[in-house]
Chain A
Amino acid sequence: MTDAVEIVPVGVRRAAPDGMVERRGAGLWLTHLLLIAGVLVIFFPIWLAFVASTVTQPEIARPPMPVWPGGQFLENYRKALFAGVNVPVATMLFNSLVMAMGIAIGKIAISLLSAFAIVYFRFPGKSVFFWLIFLTLMLPVEVRIVPTYEVVAGFGMLNSYSGLIFPLIASATATFLFRQFFLTVPDELAEAARVDGARPMRFFVDILLPMSRTNIAALFVILFIYGWNQYLWPLLITTDPSMNTIVMGIKQMFPSGDDVADWPVIMATSILAMVPPVIVVVSMQRLFIRGLVDSEK
C-alpha cells in the first residue's frame, strides 16, 4: 500500500520564482481575499461561541446577541469549571483526559506488541490471529452498541474508566500501521541483534521502539483526538454525571422542557471542550498530518 498522497513541505516545490503560473498583482490579492473569507466563514461559529461565553444570559436571551466579547469571561468560565450544570466541567475535562489518554496509550501499547509478534516471529496460528485482527478494522463501535453495552454491563464496567476505554481500543488500525512500518525496517538490524545474542525483547526495546518514535507520536495525536471526541459510547455507559466526558456532557447541560438553557455556561463548556484537541492539532501539526495520512492508508 502506498500513501494516499505525498506530503511535500510547503514552499519547497515553489522555489523558482516565476509569474507564469502563479498569480501576481490583482489576482494574488483576490486569492488572498477569498482565502481569508474562507477562513473567516469557518471561524465564525467558534467566534460566536466565544462571544457567548463572555456575556450574560440576558444579553443572549434578547437577540441579536453582541458581536464582541463582553466582560463576563472569568465569571462564566469559573461557573462552568467549578459549578457546571449537573457536574463541574473540571470533572468532565478530567474524565475526557483519562479516556483520551487511555485509548491512545492502550491502543498503541497492545498494537506495538502484536505487530512485533506478527512481523518478527513464526508461530502456530499466526495467520489465523492476523485475519482475526484484520476483521476488527471493519466494524465501528456505533454498529455493535447494544451487545457491547451488555458485555460492559456484565463486567460491571458501566460508569468506569475501563468501560470507557477498552471497547474503543478493540480495533486494528494501529496494529496495521506498525506492521507496515516494521516490514520496512532493514532485516540486517534484527540479524545483527541476533548475532550479538540479543533476546527478542531487547531488540524490541532498544532498536525497534526508538525507530518507531515518530510513528508512535503521529498515531498518538490522531488517537488522542479520536478518544477525546467520542460521543455515543460515553453517552451510553456513563449514566452517573460525575463520569461524563466533556464532549457528551454538553448536551446534558440543556434543560429538558421549556426552560431556557444557560447559554453562557454551555458555550464556555463548548470552548473548553475544543481547546485541548485544537492545541494538540495546531502544536503538533506536522505529526498530525503524518498520522492522518498514515492511518487512512
Chain B
Amino acid sequence: MEKRVTFKGWLLPLLLIAPQVIVSAVFFFYPAEQAVWQSLFIPDPFGLSMQWVGLDNFRFLLSDPYYRASFVTTAIFSTLVTLVSLIPALFLAVLADRLIKGAGAYRTLLIWPYAVAPAVAGVLWLFMFNTRVGVVAWYLGRLGYDWNHVLNEAEAMGLVVVASSWGRISYNFLFFFAALQAIPKSVIEAAAIDGARFWRRFWTIVLPLLSPTTFFLLVVNIVYAFFETFGVIHTITSGGPQQATTILVYKVYADGFVGQDLGSSAAQSVILLVVVGLLTVIQFRFIERRVHY
C-alpha cells in the first residue's frame, strides 16, 4: 500500500528511519548473524580460538538424546499450557457473555492477572506448592498425597504448566469475550426460536463462529509457551528434575550461559529461529485468510 500524497526529499526520511535501522542492525541483525555464524564453530576449552565444524553442531544436536527430549518436553508443555489456558477462558467468557448486567465488572476482575509477570506468577505458585511451607502441598499431604515437585517429574511439569497458564487465562478470556459479544444476537435468537437449546446453540453456532479467534489464540499461546515462559521455569524448577521441564528456550540459556557451550547454544538458537519463522508464517497465512472470512 502506498500513499498518493508524499513529501519530497530523501535526506529527511533517511534521518527519520536511521534510529530504528541502527538499533535493529546493532542489537538484532548483527547478533542474529552471529548466532548463525557461531553455530558453525566450536570454541576450544580456553575460549581462545574457534574451530570450524560446519554442520556438526546441528548433527550432534539432532542426535543428542537430551536435545530430542527437550523437543518432546516443549511439545508437551506448550500443548498443555495452550489447553489449560484456553478452556477455562472460554468457559468463563461464555458465562460472562450470558449476563445482561455485570459482564463488565467480571471482565475487570478477570483481566488483571495478565499484568503479573510470568516470573512473579512462578514465585506465587512455588510458594503454594513449596514442599516445606506450601499451603496446597501441606493440605495434599493431609489427604495422603505426598507432593514433591522437586523430585517428581510429572508434578514439576504440572506445576510449571499451571503457573504459566494462570495469567494467560485473562488474555484468552478477553479475546473470547470480545468475539462472543460480536456475534450478532439475531443468529442466536433465530436458533432459539427453532428450539435449539443452549448446548446445541453453542456447538453448532457459537463455536464455529469463534473458530477464527480460537485459531488465532492457539498460535499466540503456542508462541507464548515456547518463548515467554522462561521466567516460570527458571523460578520454579530450573529445568529439573532430570531436565523434565527443560524447554528449548531454557536449554539455550542453560547450555549457553551455564554450560558455556556456545556452539551448541548458537545452533539451538538457529533451530528456534526456524521454529519462530514457521509459526509466523502460519500466523500470517491465517491473517490473510481471515480477511476473506
Contacts and interface: CB of A to CB of B under 8 A. Distances in A.
Nearest to B176: A5
Given A5-B178, A22-B99, A114-B17, A146 B266 contact: yes
A126 B21 CA distance: 12
A282 B31 contact: no
B238 to A, nearest CB: 10
Contacts of B108: 282, 285
B189 interface: yes
B148 interface: no
Contact of A42 (B14, B133, B166): B166
B276 A138 contact: yes
Interface in A1-47: 1-2, 4-8, 10-11, 13-14, 17, 20-23, 28, 31-32, 34-35, 38-39, 42-43, 45-46
Contacts of B137: 63
A45 B17 contact: no
A42 B121 CA distance: 11
Contact of A14 (B92, B100, B138): B100
B171 A231 contact: no
A251 B5 contact: no
B135 A147 contact: no
B59 interface: no
A121 to B, nearest CB: 4
B20 to A, nearest CB: 4
B23 A170 contact: yes
Interface stretch (A68-76, A77-85, A87-95, A262-270): A262-270
A205 interface: no
Interface string B112-153: 111111111101110110001111011100000000000000
B220 interface: yes
Interface size class of B (residues with CB under 8 A): 35 or more
Quick one: which of A1, A22, A35, A49 has the most chain B CB within 10 A? Answer: A35
B123 A232 contact: no
Contacts of A200: 7, 9, 12
A211 interface: no
Contact of B10 (A124, A147, A282, A297): A124
Contacts of B24: 132-133, 136, 170, 172
A146 B265 contact: yes
Given A123-B14, A136-B28, A170-B24, A6 B178 contact: yes
A140 B188 CA distance: 41
Contacts of A46: 113, 116, 124
A124 B13 CA distance: 10
Interface in B1-39: 1, 3-7, 9-10, 12-14, 16-17, 19-21, 23-24, 26-32, 34-35, 38
A17 B185 CA distance: 12
B21 A132 contact: yes
Contact of A45 (B112, B124, B257): B124
Interface in B177-235: 178-179, 181-182, 185, 188-189, 192-193, 212-213, 216, 220, 227-228, 230-231, 234-235
B137 to A, nearest CB: 8
A43 B88 CA distance: 14
B51 interface: no
Contacts of A151: 26-27, 30-31, 34
Given A45-B128, A144-B31, A232 B16 contact: no
A195 to B, nearest CB: 10
Given A63-B134, A114-B20, A145-B252, A140 B10 contact: no
Contacts of B50: none
Contacts of A281: 111-112, 114-115
B290 interface: yes
A10 B118 contact: no
A266 B20 CA distance: 39
Given A64-B135, A120-B3, A251-B234, 10 more contacts: A4-B212, A39-B106, A146-B38, A149-B257, A151-B30, A225-B114, A229-B117, A231-B234, A247-B119, A297-B287
